[in-house]
Structure 1
Amino acid sequence: MSGSKEADLDRPIWAALTTKQAHLGYGDASARRYHPDVAPFAALAFETPAAYQALLQLLLPHEQAALLSDEPAGPIDGLQMTHVGVIHQMIARHREVASTHDDEVSRMSDADAKDMLDLVQKTKPGPFGKRTREMGNYIGIRERGRLIAMAGERMRVDGYVEISAVCVDVDYRGKGLAGRLVKVLRREIEQRGETPFLHVFSDNLSAIGLYERLGFELRRTFHLTRVGHADSLSTAVPKPI
């Protein structure tokens, strides 16, 4: 991939919301966000007080949005800013050459929506709403009809697709299911001529180790900040990534 295309990964939320996933969000030339049922992420054209105020206009009093930035976000009048953590962006620069065909992997559809939501409620892989599955392809593994593992595609920019929502039921962990699903998604993304990437919290060492074994490498880091109205009550929400 060219350097110009890879530059979109320095602003993945903004790039996605202004191109391939514009239909899944709304906003203007200063600030954009995904529809709340799709994802909690938002982005700014430039990190200026005016852009933050434009974002504030997109949030209802009780809502919060998550932003990625190069440096920790400073205080902004009228906004409640909460630093959530440091994010590693990882990318698979080299194509997977081994076969990744897996007969046990099935395609998720609207008929699987309830099972998908039930699994993410149990496993907490990150934000997953009623419309998150509209962001890309989702696959899963079932045991006796029960959905026990899942992974899918989230942000999409020119030439790159994010792998996300990698989760396994606690009763089935340690069996390599997450790795199998990531391999299948990676292979399918690469067959389309695109490059897979993902985001993971810097303190999630087990996940980072898994992704490194699967051929992903650290590209860069971000700071994740949760933003809301300053006069709204702070509520505990899952770490969004």
Structure 2
Amino acid sequence: MDVLLNPAYAALTGPHAGFAQVRGEVRVYPLDVAPFLGLPDEPSEQDWADAAALIGPGRVVAIKHPDLVVPGSFKVDLTIDLVQFVAPAGLGAEDAELVALGPDDVPEMLSLVALTDPGPFRARTIELGSYLGLRQDGVLIAMAGERYQIPGYTEISAVCTHPDHRGRGLATRLIRAVAAGIEQRGDRPFLHTGTANLPAIRVYEHLGFTLSNRTKVTVLQIV
């Protein structure tokens, strides 16, 4: 399978292996880093049993996979249709007004995420890659950064702008700036969004992103 169709597994068996909690062939990020479970492309009964033992009761995890058959030992809480886009060559553009975000910025980042809901972002998500932000009068009003790192690609994630500052092109600036760092490492940027998020899709298409896959995110837990 194309690594882009199974990004959590590709990351956790590749560049993000140092984060992986492991049982058999199954991988998962620590709870405070990301909710994503990594399964082989065609998970076996043993893989599902190892996943259940690894995550334990009560923990909610998410899997990005286009066609996942979930066994009855798991409860599916939610399934969301996603589109995945890959950036055009040369998208990156550095932006001197943006600032690098670090651990001291995490409380503000979590507040901005709670307000805008760009997708999962937790206390240690910032450890997965570089994050950039824009401040106005000292207040963080927009940010974006890197999440999955897989062979040849890095995901742009947590793209969000405070509602009071939308319509100023801040998301575009942040995407291009994050892309610049990814391209400097020799990787190609990619990203995901929900099929219903038409404003975001229009931004990505305007920037020259091309559709690479249609997939799903499945949120589940042990019954």
TM-score by length of 1: 0.87
CA contact (8 A) 2:23 2:54 kept: no
The alpha-carbon distance between structure 1 residues 96 and 75, as it changes in their structure 2 partners (threshold 3 A), is closer
* Secondary structure in 2 matching 1:57: helix
Whole-Å separation in 1 of the counterparts to 2:72 and 2:8: 23
What is the CA-CA distance between 1:102 and the residue it aligns to?
A: 2.0
Aligned to 1:34: 29
Aligned to 2:198: 205
Whole-Å separation in 2 of the counterparts to 1:209 and 1:75: 32
* Secondary structure in 2 matching 1:130: coil
- Match 2:210 to one of 200, 217, 228: 217
1:159 lines up with 2:152 in the alignment: yes
Q: Describe the superposition over 1:184-231 as per-residue Cα deviations: whole angstroms up to 9, x where unpaired.
A: 11122112211000011111111111111112110011121112111x
* Secondary structure in 2 matching 1:74: coil
What is the CA-CA distance between 1:138 and the residue it aligns to?
A: 0.1
Aligned to 2:174: 181
Q: Which moved more, 1:60-69 or 1:74-83?
A: 74-83
Whole-Å separation in 2 of the counterparts to 1:9 and 1:225: 16
Whole-Å separation in 1 of the counterparts to 2:38 and 2:114: 26
- Match 1:127 to one of 94, 113, 120: 120
CA contact (8 A) 2:94 2:176 kept: no
Aligned to 1:235: none
Whole-Å separation in 2 of the counterparts to 1:44 and 1:11: 8
Q: Describe the superposition over 1:105-138 as per-residue Cα deviations: whole angstroms up to 9, x where unpaired.
A: 0000112111111111111111111100000000
- Match 1:60 to one of 56, 60, 63: 56
The RMSD of aligned alpha carbons is: 1.5
What is the CA-CA distance between 1:74 and the residue it aligns to?
A: 3.3
Aligned to 1:238: none
1:54 maps to amino acid: D
CA contact (8 A) 1:94 1:215 kept: no
1:39 maps to amino acid: A
**Structure 1 unaligned blocks of 5 or more:** 1-5, 231-241
> Runs of at least 4 residues of structure 1 off by over 4 A?
none
TM-score by length of 2: 0.94
Q: Describe the superposition over 1:54-84 as per-residue Cα deviations: whole angstroms up to 9, x where unpaired.
A: 111112321111112221x334132112342
What is the CA-CA distance between 1:95 and the residue it aligns to?
A: 2.0
Q: Which moved more, 1:51-60 or 1:73-82?
A: 73-82
**Structure 2 unaligned blocks of 5 or more:** none
* Secondary structure in 2 matching 1:222: strand
State how many pairs are aligned. Answer: 222
Q: Describe the superposition over 1:168-189 as per-residue Cα deviations: whole angstroms up to 9, x where unpaired.
A: 0011011111110001111221
Whole-Å separation in 1 of the counterparts to 2:96 and 2:150: 29
- Match 1:88 to one of 58, 68, 83: 83
